[in-house]
Amino acid sequence: MSTSTPTTTERPERPERPEVTSDPRRVAGFGGVRLVIRRELATKLVTGAFFFSTFLFGLMAFAGPFVTGSGGDDDLTLGHSAATSGLADGVAEVAERGEGAGVSLREVADRDEATALLADGDVDAVVLEQDGALTVLVEDDLAPTLGTYLSSVAGDEALLDAATEAGVDPSVLAEAAAGAALQVEQVGEAFPIGDAMLGLSVGAIGLALVLLWGIPLATDVMQEKVSRVVEILLSSVRPWQLLAGKVLATTVIALVQLSVVLVGTGLAMAIRGSLPSLESLNWTVLGVGVVCLVLSIVTCSTLMAGLAARVERQEELSSVLQPAFAVVLLPIVAAVYLTFSFTDSIWFDVASLVPFFNTFALPARLAVETVPVWQVALSLAVAAGTAVAAFAVGGRVYGGAVLRAGGRVSLLEALRSR
């Protein structure tokens, strides 16, 4: 009778962390960070690919207001014949008294000229008198505002003509109509939709920049780990210096590209005459929004870079970045929802003070209500503290995982590593 000894399969141990010999000339302090920033800017900012993509984004931003026709309060142009000049004058007067788009007038000689002007886009509509009836010619559709003006003025003129034929003094009829005018009195506060959109745009821009540059940053961290380039870099700088330099350089690159896009959009709006005046801008929202934008980019990019150091394969990257995506997507969704549905709720106040949420909610809250100065200062202090905490955690994960090989490094293991 033979006995067999059971065999045990031992789990292969993770390869030991490679020994990285420190260069005696290793740069200490922020000098190492500056060294990494210069390297990152030289390899990512001063490149043909960056210049081309930035130029393309700027060109798209410049073309956007022309293609989409932004600036909805642009004056409309109404063409008219000599017979309908009185009606056209009435439309212009009504538009001038209103708060919407104004109406400029252009006289046409006949239907052929009117058709040509419509085809060229020189007029939005032409009102003519044909066989005793009013006819409005349009290229595609009649602008709703212009249609309302035309209907109102045409109805008033028809009523005055009927009153005259019936022997009623038109001045008496006009006086009676004026006496029946409604007096509108606003008892509540108007919702500042323009300022609200400005505040929410900070979060939208932050989301776009994090996705546009945070993911390439995470990919770059992973590739440097796989190619073992990071071992060479860490012989000259410390892990926290390498991470800080990468994050700050990414933030600078993102802001440079954003500046080009904003300049392109501003130039297009200036050419169209729809650029808002400096007095109309809410500078408090704009200033606080810029600070929140920078802090949100730094916080999210730091988390993404630290988490990316845990893996060595591209297909694993998206799963480890889910926590970083969550701290961007959830706050912007919450900010939009609270701005339009719970403006006066305590939840909006809380969201503007809670870490991760405050950089997205605070600018929007400032746009729709008065926020005490101490709450603004507290919120910005919390946001700065969150960025520091994200760097502490992300830097610990980065330093504990970037030199480890043999598959994904668990988050707990990366945090425990020294």
Does residue 343 sit in the same domain as residue 376?
Answer: yes
Does residue 117 sit in the same domain as residue 241?
Answer: no
**Helix (H) or strand (E) run with residue 125 in it:** strand 125-130
pLDDT at 258 over 70: yes
Q: How confident is the model at residue 288 (pLDDT cuts 50, 70, 90)?
A: very high
Does the residue 179 lie in any domain? no
Does residue 160 sit in the same domain as residue 220?
Answer: no
Does the residue 294 lie in any domain? yes
* Cβ–Cβ < 8 Å for 303, 411: no
Does residue 162 sit in the same domain as residue 275?
Answer: no
pLDDT of 21 reads 47
Question: Which residues are within 8 A (CB) of 117 and not within 5 positions of it... i.e. 6 or more apart?
Answer: 79, 106, 108, 123, 126
pLDDT of 82 reads 85
pLDDT of 70 reads 47
Higher per-residue confidence, 108 vs 69:
108
Task: Tell me the residue range of the domain where 97 lies.
Answer: 76-167
Q: How confident is the model at residue 69 (pLDDT cuts 50, 70, 90)?
A: low
Where a domain ends, among 111, 134, 167? Answer: 167
Does the residue 24 lie in any domain? no
Does the residue 19 lie in any domain? no
pLDDT at 20 over 90: no
Q: Residue 70 corresponds to which amino acid?
A: S
Q: How confident is the model at residue 304 (pLDDT cuts 50, 70, 90)?
A: very high
DSSP 82: S
CATH number of the domain encompassing residue 94: 3.40.190.10
Number of domains forming the structure of the chain: 2
Does residue 399 sit in the same domain as residue 312?
Answer: yes
* Cβ–Cβ < 8 Å for 36, 242: yes
Per-residue b or e along 295-308, where b marks 16 or more CB atoms closer than 10 Å to that residue's CB: bbbbbbbbbbbbbb
DSSP 277: P
Q: How confident is the model at residue 182 (pLDDT cuts 50, 70, 90)?
A: low
Does the residue 39 lie in any domain? no
Does residue 251 sit in the same domain as residue 151?
Answer: no
* Cβ–Cβ < 8 Å for 365, 352: yes
Does residue 262 sit in the same domain as residue 223?
Answer: yes
pLDDT at 81 over 70: yes
Q: What percent of the chain has pLDDT over 90?
A: 29
pLDDT, one tens digit per residue, over 319-346 is 899 989 998 899 999 999 998 888 888 9
Does the residue 89 lie in any domain? yes
Average of pLDDT values for 2-16? 50
Does residue 146 sit in the same domain as residue 251?
Answer: no
Q: What percent of the chain has pLDDT over 70?
A: 84
Most confident of 6-15, 139-148, 234-243, 271-280: 234-243
pLDDT at 156 over 50: yes
Q: Residue 110 corresponds to which amino acid?
A: D
Does residue 109 sit in the same domain as residue 254?
Answer: no
Return d(Cα 130, Cα 179) in angstroms, integer. Answer: 34
Residue at token pair 């990285």: 20
pLDDT, one tens digit per residue, over 384-394 is 999 999 999 98
Does residue 325 sit in the same domain as residue 260?
Answer: yes
Most confident of 57-71, 144-158, 394-408: 394-408
Does residue 97 sit in the same domain as residue 205?
Answer: no
Does the residue 90 lie in any domain? yes
Does the residue 301 lie in any domain? yes
pLDDT at 97 over 80: no
Q: 239-272 and 283-308 are packed helices; what angle lies between their axes, rounded to 10 degrees?
A: 140
- Give me the residues paired with residue 105 across strands: 78
Does residue 151 sit in the same domain as residue 297?
Answer: no
